Amino acid sequence: MIIFNTWLYQFDHITFENVAKQIPTAAKLGVEYFVIDAGWFGKDSSWGANIGDWEENPNFGFRGRMSEIAEMVRNHGMKFGFWLEVERAVMQSEAAQKYPQYFIPYNGNCFLDFANPQAREYIFRVLSNLVDHYGISFIKFDFNADLCFDQTAQAFTEYFKGYRAFIKRVRKTY
């Protein structure tokens, strides 16, 4: 599997124009999966301040044109994908503010409570909407932050069972 990841091109400084220029070259090099990394979501220019708000940024990045990028990728014979950190949100994100019952606050972040079936259903719906809307064939999941303290004192047993159930559902559905 050969993957092109926009993070390796210009990190989070993506624009419609600079990513569109990379697509034909990636296809000529035999890339199979073209993956958009950080910088595509949120409401302002700081993607790090928007982690958890998994909606295309209308003001920065592709400025609402990610569907066009996805179509260009497919037209060049590659599969389209992007990066998500489904397990984490920042405290000021709309997701964490709107659904605090689905998140575990820790060390300036909020971690999705995978032990909670409603939280898993919520993030599955978010992911499904993105997959369906953009025709995603590849998802890059990163665990860039760690939830180091288990409030249940069960060594994260239920958390990881829930995470595995979520991943199984994603694989089965898509």
pLDDT in tens, 66-89: 999 999 999 999 999 999 999 999
171 falls in which pLDDT band (50, 70, 90)?
Answer: very high
Q: Is the pLDDT of residue 151 over 90?
A: no
Element (H or E) spanning 75, and its range? helix 66-75
pLDDT given at position 145 = 78
Q: Residue 4: what are its φ and ψ, rounded to 5°? A: -100, 130
Tell me how far apart the alpha carbons of residues 90 and 86 are, in angstroms, rounded to a whole number: 11
Long-range contacts (CB closer than 8 Å, 24 or more residues apart) made by 152-160: 152/115, 158/114, 158/115, 159/113, 159/114, 159/115, 160/114
pLDDT given at position 56 = 94
pLDDT in tens, 93-143: 999 999 999 999 998 899 999 999 999 999 999 999 999 999 999 999 987
User: Is residue 129 helix, strand or coil?
Assistant: helix
pLDDT in tens, 19-58: 999 999 999 999 999 999 988 998 887 888 889 999 999 9
User: Is residue 14 helix, strand or coil?
Assistant: coil
Tell me how far apart the alpha carbons of residues 60 and 64 are, in angstroms, rounded to a whole number: 8
